[in-house]
Structures are given as structure tokens and as C-alpha cells.
Amino acid sequence: MPFTYCSLIISGLVKIILPKEDADFIIYKYLPRLGLAVRGITLTAEEKSDIIHKFGGMIIKILYAFVW
């Protein structure tokens, strides 16, 4: 997913979940620096697939932890 989409989604969620001071830090300081850090990263289709599988496994484990 392009970083601009991720940035918009994260900004929206942070505004809802966190206090204003923390949200401002993430939106105005953390996300711009993160964008610079990940700008040059390219992944192959196999690497993207591996990340998706690992993300799915993490979500399942988190949901199980909440149920348990």
C-alpha cells in the first residue's frame, strides 16, 4: 500500500484514539520521518506475500488473546 494512504489512515485513527498531544506528535513528527525512512524500500511479490501471511497470523493471535 502506498505510504500516502497509510499516512491518511493512521492520522485518522490516531485522532480518534489518542489524546491531542500524542496525536500531534505522531502526525507531525513521526509520520513524516517514517515516510522518509521507507521511501526507497521495494519488495518482490514473494516478499509482499510473506508479509501479508505474517500480518494475518499476527491478527489471529491478537484476536485469540482477546478471546482468551
Residue-wise pLDDT for 47-66, tens only, equals 999 999 999 999 999 999 99
Cell (9 digits) for 35:
515516510
Residue-wise pLDDT for 27-41, tens only, equals 999 999 999 998 888
Rounded Cα–Cα distance for residues 24 and 28 (Å): 6
The count of domains in the chain is: 1
> Which residues form the domain of 58?
3-67
Backbone angles phi, psi at 60, to 5 degrees: -60, -45
Does residue 1 surpass a pLDDT of 80?
Answer: no
Rounded Cα–Cα distance for residues 65 and 68 (Å): 5
R_g of the chain computed on alpha carbons: 15
